[in-house]
Structure 1
Amino acid sequence: MKDICIIGSGAGASPVAYELSKAGYKVVVLEKGPWLKTEDFTKDELVATRKDLYIPNLEDESHQIVRKNSDGNWSVKNTADTGSDFWNGNVVGGSSNFMSGYFHRMKPQDFKLKSTYGEIEGANITDWPISYDDLEPYYAKVEEVIGVSGKVNQHKYLEPRSTPDFPYAPLATNIVSDLIDKAAGELKISTFGTPRAIISKGKDKRNACYYSNYCGSYGCSSSAKGSARSALLEPALETGNLEIIPFAKVFHLETDGKGKVIRANYYDAEDQKQFIEANLFVIAAQATETSRLLLMSKNKDFPNGLANNNDQVGKNLVFSSGGVGSCNLNYDDFDPDTAQKLKAPGLFVNRACQEWYEIEKEGKKIKGGTIDFLWDHANPVSRTIRAKWDGNDLLYGTALKEKIHGYFTKQRRLKFEIFTDWSPNDDCFVELSDDKFDKWGDPVGKIWTGAISYDKTVGEILAKNTIPILEKMGGKNISYTISNYPSVNLQAGGCRFGIDPETSVLDANCKAHEVENLYVTDGSFMPTGGSTTFTFTIYANAFRVADKILERLKTI
């Protein structure tokens, strides 16, 4: 019998495992994927960008994705047929192994979205049951324990902080960062250094970043990236109180008929049924899969799925709304010294803008978002493949070779990413498929990806406001795309927390309203996602919940 059984091993799971094992409790982590170590990660583009080694075989484990077509009708496609997966790093440490590590805090107003900005037509907006002040100490803790590099710069939407600066100095940046700052400054727009969950100096057994030029989508081969595995699980293992079981696919949580989970049933590496018994259970399998597990854990007391007698499990999924833009910086447009410095590989851009975190629209303040600047990914194969097109025409021979040569030697592509709120709505949820099953015979997740037009409008405003910065820098071929397609690597909701058990799955401490000993600590708890990436907030909240669990255990 274990004290705590945790399902999943990523950003939502690892703080709980770390804190409870350090406190002397016996913890077991069940991870569906393999246990890869730092030395297993390489800069192999085909492996990393395809992620065939890091996600399940889609023939074995797929999803059904439901999207609205241009004609307004819904269509269902299976990812095993399309090849476009909805997985995010099924390995020990989860998708945090492959993140880029943009660690912006949410703002105080993000916790009070409804009361600050009002209703949004077609959206299920609600305030959080906790405030920024409740989470602030844990943001600070993540910066120290996970390791966040950067420098706090004053700007009008800088959130309140209990610490004056980040614990690690900023990572080295390319001269393009200075060009961005200069152009933005001339336009009276504030930019600042992007905080990154990548350490700039060694920490314990982790090495500093060595600027490999391959970061996002790649596992870190120096452990500089603050993945759940290297930053938390590996230190937790040293306590002797943590056990990690890879290739453990949990398919059903069993209850005692009195509102208490007693057993996690799973398939092991040989597809044999096993189980773990524990006093407390924590699910952190990433939003869509956490909802799927609860929905599969039906019994006579929970005929609609565990903790789902109010029919809220799986509802109000959120992703990250926004889009991307880019420009070409042609070396011939700059003096030779600047052009040479622009070519420097490996160095980060690390520039962000929150000038429009709030914007005026039709005489009313509405939520805006965050812009992060970054280089086009270094991947040479995918960049070469994209070069084969000239509009709708296919290039070949000398014309193709000249274009490829020019792309790699005469310019560099600067991108920006926009992060805005994805409004929870009735058409964005996960349910169990009734006709598609995984290799164990369990129904796959059927994910509805409905979005409201309001979110796209906000993204368009931010993109148009960003374009002048690129123009001022001398950027060419400027373009952007704003989409309502969900960001697969940024998913939350499905088990939102709240005060009212009728409209939420979890209470303010992320314990299931209906289940005495069940917590959910991945992004599922989030009613709204803010206008940033989610991982920082998931880490911080999981540390907060770990403290709540420890307080509870001390009273038993």
Structure 2
Amino acid sequence: MTIPNDFDVIIIGTGAGGSTLAHRLAPSGKRILILERGDFLPREKANWSALEVYQKERYHTEEQWQDHQGHTFRPATSYYVGGNTKVYGAALFRLRERDFQEVAHQDGISPAWPLAYSDFEPYYQQAEALYDVHGVAGHDQTEPWRSAPYPYPPVRHEPRMQQLSEHLQHIGLHPFPLPLGLKLNEVDKTLGACIRCDTCDGFPCLTQGKADGEVNGIQPIRHQENITLLVNAQVTRLLTNPQGTRVERVEVAMHGEIHTFTGAVVVVACGAINSAALLLRSANDRHPQGLANGSGLVGRNLMKHVCTALVQLSLTPNHDIYQKTLAVSDFYWGESDFPYPMGLIQNTGNVLPDMLPAEAPALLAPLLKLRPNAELKAVADHTVGWWLQTEDLPDPENRVTLQNDRITLHYQPNNLPAAHRLVQRWIEVLKQVDRSENAIPFGIYPRNQVPVQAVGHQCGTCRFGTDPNTSVLDVHCRTHAVDNLYVVDGSFFPSSAAVNPTLTIVANALRVGDHLLSCLP
């Protein structure tokens, strides 16, 4: 096949941002080149193996990054068509309306966005339709206003999650159905690919029942005549004209050779960390600090949430198959004696036996000491997984750099008092629940703060704004310094809020797509 060299739009990356933008632009007939450094994720039995996915990290890159002290690590990031959405948990939240405003935290200030929730609301609506979001309005105490209902009804709780939801309501909390992007129809069983399996959160979907960037964004358009998708095509540099005002060529490594392509518009959508790294790697005489980095902010203000994985081990058995259906936002903005945001609580997927050594090692040591012959399955059958996330605040010293061309993350978590308070508050809640369920009180609640190599909620490295001195991108996510260069992934976030970022990335890609459609010749 002969590949043309010149395109109207070149999109680099097929995660939530790149795949959605390609989907929005495809009907225009514009010649679109989509470049993905990975291949299609294989559909294989290992998709459903907790041993392969969690212990062996089968679907994470083999790359080695390093922290600011020079310690190397393997990042939990995936290079496939669909990007990290291939293994995400499909929780698709809107930011709260107040998240777009300046918010005081105990540990500092979360800055206002240059746009308001009302600017994003119609695109949130479109994003939920495109990604098959199931949910129900009126149960989440912090949810923003919406112009239309969710596209699909909420995913039903199975018995244990329903029981927990009722217990939480009984003690005065307001649990609500987690908004989920699934290809599921529980009314007509013949529709939808989701089978409500126990390997969804963090796993690839063998049935393609999860709404991800490949299935919902790329597959519907990839065979159109105006779409060229190249896999195993890693962009190495962006090359500008002599004035440094436009990207003239995109340099791509494919099968051991270097190719170049030209495009009227070039969109970087590699994920917040890799997008920043690509701009830094593309430094030239006109952009000595990195492409479009006159502000010095490319790579800075890296955010990824302060996340805690917590396992609730109780006497009550848990036989639910698909259990990631519950969320609690009662502490999102704090509580009466702590007037600062604390964060969001949601279920994880099932805690499977082969996940325990990787996900809850703190649980196993004392338990096996008490019961040396305890089986992992017996432990897993009495667990519920919880995921607690607190907003981390933008800090210019939390940043992405390159050291000898290796990605280096300088990241120190902040807002920790609020995160620790959320964890302790939730343990108190779980103790109340466990006391109400069992004649004798029993509960073990091991938890792990998620380390730097878990970069699933990455954002903020090329923030958007109106001032070129304090932002990298304008409000349309075009770089201030390079006329035809856009960044469309989580990089644009000025703050991280405390909800999962994917739906906002999708909504923004649709918004930028409409802008490009209005200005492309």
The reply to whether TM is greater than 0.5 is yes
- Per the alignment, in what secondary structure is the counterpart of residue 310 of structure 2? strand
1:266 maps to a residue whose letter is: V
Q: Note the C-alpha offset of 1:362.
A: 6.4
> Contact 1:253 / 1:265 at 8 angstroms: preserved in 2?
yes
Aligned twin of 1:65:
67
Equivalence for 1:22: 27
Tell me if structure 2 keeps the 8 A contact 1:263–1:278: yes
Aligned 1:315-326 pairs, distance under 5 A: 315-326=300-311
Q: Structure 1: how far apart are the matches of 2:56 and 2:514?
A: 34
SS of match in other structure, 1:317: coil
1:464/1:308 CA distance change after superposition, 3 Å: same
Give matches, 1:240-259, under 5 Å.
240-258=225-243, 259=245
1:301 aligns with 2:286: yes
Distance in 2 of aligned mates of 1:393 and 1:199? 40
Equivalent residue in structure 2 for 1:456, among 416, 439, 447 = 416
Identify the residue that residue 107 of structure 1 maps to in structure 2: 96
Which one of 223, 239, 250 corresponds to residue 264 of structure 1? 250
Per-residue deviation, residues 365-407 of structure 1 (Å, max 9, x unmatched) = 32232110235422x32436889988767959x9543344642
The answer on whether the counterparts of 1:41 and 1:220 sit within 8 Å (CA) in structure 2 is: no
C-alpha change, 1:119 and 1:240, in structure 2 (3 Å) is farther
Pairing 1:406-425 to 2, within 5 Å after superposition: 406-407=378-379, 411-425=381-395
TM-score in terms of structure 1 length: 0.85
Q: How many pairs were matched up?
A: 506
Provide Cα deviations, 1:307-366, integer angstroms capped at 9, x if missing partner.
0122111111111113132322324xxxxxxx5xx424x232411111112125767x32
Q: Which residue of 2 aligns with 1:76?
A: 70
SS for the counterpart of 2:334 is strand
Contact 1:460 1:482 in 2 (8 A): no
Q: Name 2:438's counterpart in structure 1.
A: none
Q: Which residue of 2 aligns with 1:334?
A: none
Q: 1:35 aligns with which of 27, 32, 40?
A: 40
- Tell me how far apart the structure 2 counterparts of residues 43 and 405 of structure 1 sit (CA, whole Å): 16
Give the gaps of 5 or more residues in structure 1: 67-74, 80-84, 332-338, 435-442
Name the residue aligned to 1:190.
174
User: Letter of the aligned partner of 2:33 in structure 1?
Assistant: V
Quote the residue 1:447 is aligned against.
Answer: 409
Are 1:179 and 1:473, in contact at CA under 8 Å, matched by a contact in 2? no
User: Secondary structure of the residue that 1:318 maps to in structure 2?
Assistant: coil
Q: CA deviation at 1:283?
A: 0.3
Structure 1 residues 144-153 or 7-16, which shifts more? 144-153
Give the alignment of 1:415-494 within 5 angstroms: 415-434=385-404, 443-452=405-414, 455-474=415-434, 476-479=442-445, 481=447, 483=449, 485-486=451-452, 487-494=454-461
Residues of 2 paired with 1:206 and 1:253: CA distance? 44
TM-aligned CA distance change 1:163 to 1:444, over 3 Å: same
1:200 is aligned to 2:176? no
Match of 1:383 in 2: 356
Match of 1:366 among 340, 350, 354: 340
The residue that corresponds to 2:83 in the other structure is 94
1:212-227 aligned at under 5 Å gives the runs 212-227=197-212
The one-character-per-residue Cα deviations of 1:9-36 (angstroms, maximum 9, x if unpaired) are 1101011111111111111111111123
Displacement, 1:77?
0.4
1:70 is matched with none
The letter of the residue matching 1:189 is L
Q: CA deviation at 1:46?
A: 3.5
| Contact 2:135–2:153 (Cα < 8 Å) also in 1 | yes
Q: Which runs of 5+ in 2 are unaligned?
A: 1-5, 436-441
* Aligned residue in 2 for 1:329: 314
Partner of 2:298: 313
Query: Contact conserved, 1:425 with 1:451, CA < 8 A, in 2?
Result: no
| Cα distance in 1 between the residues matched to 2:260 and 2:299 | 25
CA distance in 2, matches of 1:156, 1:217: 27
Whether the 8 Å CA contact 1:320–1:531 is kept in 2: the answer is yes
Question: Deviation at 1:279?
Answer: 0.6
Conserved? CA contact 2:82–2:213, under 8 Å = yes
Give the counterpart of 2:158 among 166, 171, 174. 174
Do the aligned partners of 2:201 and 2:348 also contact (CA within 8 Å) in 1? no
Give CA-to-partner distance per residue, 1:435-472, whole Å, 9 cap, x none: xxxxxxxx0111101222xx111112222332343223
Map Cα deviations across residues 161-199 of structure 1 (whole Å, 9 max, x no partner).
0112x2122223221222222222222111100010112
Residues 387, 404 of structure 1: 8 Å contact kept: no
**For the residues of structure 2 that align with 1:429 and 1:135, how far apart are their CA atoms?**
27
Q: Which amino acid aligns with 1:488?
A: V
Residue type at the aligned position of 1:467: I
Distance 1:416 1:392, change over 3 A: closer
Looking at structure 2, the residues matched to 514 and 298 of structure 1 have their Cα atoms a distance apart, in angstroms, of: 13
Shift of 1:50: 5.0
Question: Displacement of 1:239 after TM fit?
Answer: 2.7
Separation (CA, whole Å) in 2 of partners of 1:358 and 1:290? 31
The 3 A distance-change label for structure 1 pair 403 and 239 is closer
CA distance 1:158–1:391, shift in 2 (3 Å): closer
The aligned residue for residue 547 of structure 1 is 514
Which amino acid in 2 is paired with 1:343? Answer: H
**What amino acid is the match of 2:334?**
I
Q: In the alignment, is the contact (CA less than 8 A) between 1:295 and 1:432 conserved in 2?
A: yes
Q: Percent identity?
A: 25
Aligned-partner Cα distance in 2 for 1:77–1:88: 18
- Note if contact 2:51-2:355 (Cα within 8 Å) is conserved in structure 1: no
Q: CA RMSD in A?
A: 2.7
**Contact 2:61-2:77 at 8 Å conserved across structures:** no
Q: CA deviation at 1:240?
A: 2.4
Shift of 1:52: 5.2
Cα gap change, 1:516/1:416 in structure 2, threshold over 3 Å: closer, same or farther? same
The structural deviation recorded for 1:42 is 2.9
Partners of 2:61 and 2:35 in 1: CA distance: 16
